[in-house]
Amino acid sequence: MRRLCALFLTILFAAGPCLFAQQAPEPQAAPAATPPAASVKYTPDGKPILADSTPVRMRTRRNLSSADCKVNDQIDFEVLDPVVLDGLTVIPQGGIAMGKVTESEHKKSMGRAGKLNIVIESVKMTNGEKAALRAEKDTKGGGHVGAMTGAIVATSIVFFPAAPLFLFVHGKDITIPSGTEITAYVNGDTVFSPPGQAPEQALAPIAPPPPPKTISVGQTKDEVIAIFGQPQKVVKLPTKEMLYYPDMKVTLVEAKVTDVQ
């Protein structure tokens, strides 16, 4: 009997931690904090401003390699996330950012690596206008270079601290595959005019109507002709002269106006 009790207690103590572990409540993960929405600035006439340093996440749309890229080749990127200001989409998901190749060297002999230098210049907004881009979030410098080390290792892309945005690749014709993700930043505050709202143009002032042509008694024949032009017909009598216009007859005596009909 003692042996049975001892065996029972031994099993109980051995199983106890497992039983307690199964009954212990699992810790609940704290909900992720939602970052506060950045306040949107507006121009005095009510147009939203795409703020400087706004991030724009994008990816390459085709393979890029120093083996086939040439200087001044146009390179396009696809925007991955829309940029929205107070419910108004400024940069659409799937939009296009443009850049070009500024340096390209094929790999050389003796193991010397190739080079590929690409600058991303701008991204197209929903109103058809372009917003300039740059490589850094903070143009005043700081720890941004070290923070980007992981992205450099993962994608073989080195970001130089210059604007707008430089991609520099060393290697034996290293290819940047289609779909490689990068983040650029809006370079300077950009006023966004919503689609369909053309910039207001000041109306040209309306010129006042010319003063009416008038004739008065006592004017000379030359003054009448200066105002109304040459008459259609002139009738000369011994004591007077009559000038005929389309809707008017001017009578002159001694070369001065005496009557207008």
Q: Residues 118, 55: one domain?
A: yes
Q: Residues 122, 244: one domain?
A: no
**What are the average pLDDT values for consecutive 10-residue runs of the chain, which has 261 residues?**
44 42 46 51 92 93 87 92 93 93 75 76 93 78 35 38 48 77 92 73 68 82 87 88 88 88 83
Cα–Cα–Cα angle for 179, 185, 189, nearest 5°? 145
Residue 250 lies in a domain: yes
Which helix (H) or strand (E) segment holds residue 150: the answer is helix 149-155
Sequence letter at residue 35: P
Give the pLDDT of residue 49. 94
Which helix (H) or strand (E) segment holds residue 185: the answer is strand 181-186
| DSSP three-state, residue 46 | coil
Which residue in the block uniquely carries the two structure tokens 């210059």? 162
Residue 4 lies in a domain: no
- Contacts of residue 146, defined as CB under 8 A and 6 or more positions apart, other chains included, come to none
* Tokens linked to 206: 């309306």
First to last CA, the chain: 150
Q: Residues 64, 168: one domain?
A: yes
Please report, for the domain that includes residue 118, its CATH number.
Answer: 2.40.128
Q: Residues 62, 136: one domain?
A: yes
Give the pLDDT of residue 112. 64
Q: Residues 133, 53: one domain?
A: yes
Residue 1 lies in a domain: no
Residue after which a domain boundary falls, among 172, 191, 210: 191
Residue range(s) defining the domain that contains residue 57? 41-191
Omega before 164 cis (within 30°)?
yes
- Contacts of residue 106, defined as CB under 8 A and 6 or more positions apart, other chains included, come to 66, 67, 114, 173
Residue 198 lies in a domain: no
Give the pLDDT of residue 211. 74
Sequence letter at residue 38: A
Q: Residues 141, 237: one domain?
A: no
Q: Residues 239, 159: one domain?
A: no
Q: Residues 161, 236: one domain?
A: no
